[in-house]
């Protein structure tokens, strides 16, 4: 295997691991926002921003955490047939099937970029009382999808390594 492929796998995995470990703690941000929301609603004036801020945090949580969840192998597969194959057969099939995943993520990114440019050009705001701009969260989403594509390509190279018996 060429050295740059192995380095690519290592670099992508390291970046996604860091980003994922960061996203992991957003759960506490989420809890904090929602607790503040209940406190302010019960004792003070209800905050306008909590609902949407919580939604933005949740989206960042799962989109940025996505590649790390692939590393943790948390995404379920049906293993009725797949489970009984040898590791080599699995690697062969995965090397093909991951291309479909990359296609899905690519279309997702294509739509995401179109939507983000629209938001930036027209200064799109959410139609609520707080009226936040939508472009920051859309950029975060696109960034997360790019990381997801990087992780998927790394998975592809890892499968090739497995087929050729190279350790990575």
Partner 1 sequence: MSYEMIALLMFSTMMLMLMTGQRVFGAIGFVGVAAAMLLWGTGGSDIGFSAAMKLMKWYPLLTLPMFIFMGYVLSESKIADDLYRMFHVWMGPVRGGLAIGTIGLMVLISAMNGLSVAGMAIGATIALPELLRRGYDKIMVTGVIQAGSSLGILVPPSVVLVLYAMIARQPVGQLWLAGVMPGLMMAGLFIVYIVVRCWLQPHLGPALPVEERQVPLAEKLRLLRAGILPLAIFAAMMVPFVNGWTSLVESSAIGAMTAFLAAVFKRRMTREVFETSVRQTLAISCMFMWIILAALGFGAVFDGLGAVRAIDSLFTQQLGLDPWVILILMQLSFILMGTFLDDTAMLVIVAPLYVPLVQALGFDLIWYGVLYTITTQIAYMTPPFGYNLFLMRAMAPPEITLRDIYRSIIPFAFVMVLALALVMAFPQIALWLPNLVYSK
Q: Are 125 and 132 in contact (CB under 8 A)?
A: yes
Q: Is residue 130 at the binding interface for partner 1, with CB under 8 A as the rule?
A: no
Give the binding range for partner 1 (CB under 8 A) out of 6-14, 70-78, 156-164.
Answer: 70-78
- Whose CA is closest to 153, among 105, 81, 88? 105
Give the binding range for partner 1 (CB under 8 A) out of 7-15, 32-40, 160-168.
Answer: 32-40
Q: What whole-number distance in Å separates Cα of residue 160 and Cα of residue 168?
A: 10
Q: Give CA separation, 164 vs 82, 100, 143, 158, in Å.
A: 20, 22, 32, 10
**Applying CB under 8 A, which of residues 16, 68, 147, 153 lies at the interface with partner 1?**
68
Strands (DSSP E) along 13-133, which ranges?
Answer: none
Interface residue list for partner 1 (CB under 8 A): 20, 23-25, 27, 30-31, 34-35, 37-38, 41-42, 51, 54-56, 58-59, 61-63, 65-66, 68-70, 72, 74-82, 85, 90, 93-94, 97-98, 100-101, 103-104, 107-108, 110-112, 114-115, 137, 141
């Amino acid at each position: 295997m060429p050295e740059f492929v192995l380095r690519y796998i290592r670099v992508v995995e390291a970046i996604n691991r860091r980003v994922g470990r960061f996203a992991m703690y957003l759960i506490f941000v989420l809890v904090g926002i929602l607790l503040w929301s209940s406190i302010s609603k019960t004792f003070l004036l209800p905050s306008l921003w909590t609902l949407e801020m919580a939604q933005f945090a949740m989206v960042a949580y799962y989109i940025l955490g996505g590649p790390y969840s692939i590393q943790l192998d948390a995404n379920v597969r049906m293993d009725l047939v797949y489970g009984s194959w040898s590791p080599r057969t699995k690697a062969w099939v995965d090397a093909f099937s991951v291309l479909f995943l990359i296609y899905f993520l690519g279309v997702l990114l294509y739509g995401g970029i179109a939507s983000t440019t629209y938001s930036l050009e027209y200064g799109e705001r959410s139609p609520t009382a707080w009226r936040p701009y939508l472009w920051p969260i859309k950029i975060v989403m696109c960034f997360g999808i790019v990381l997801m594509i990087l992780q998927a390509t790394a998975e592809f190279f890892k499968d090739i390594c497995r087929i050729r018996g190279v350790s990575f």
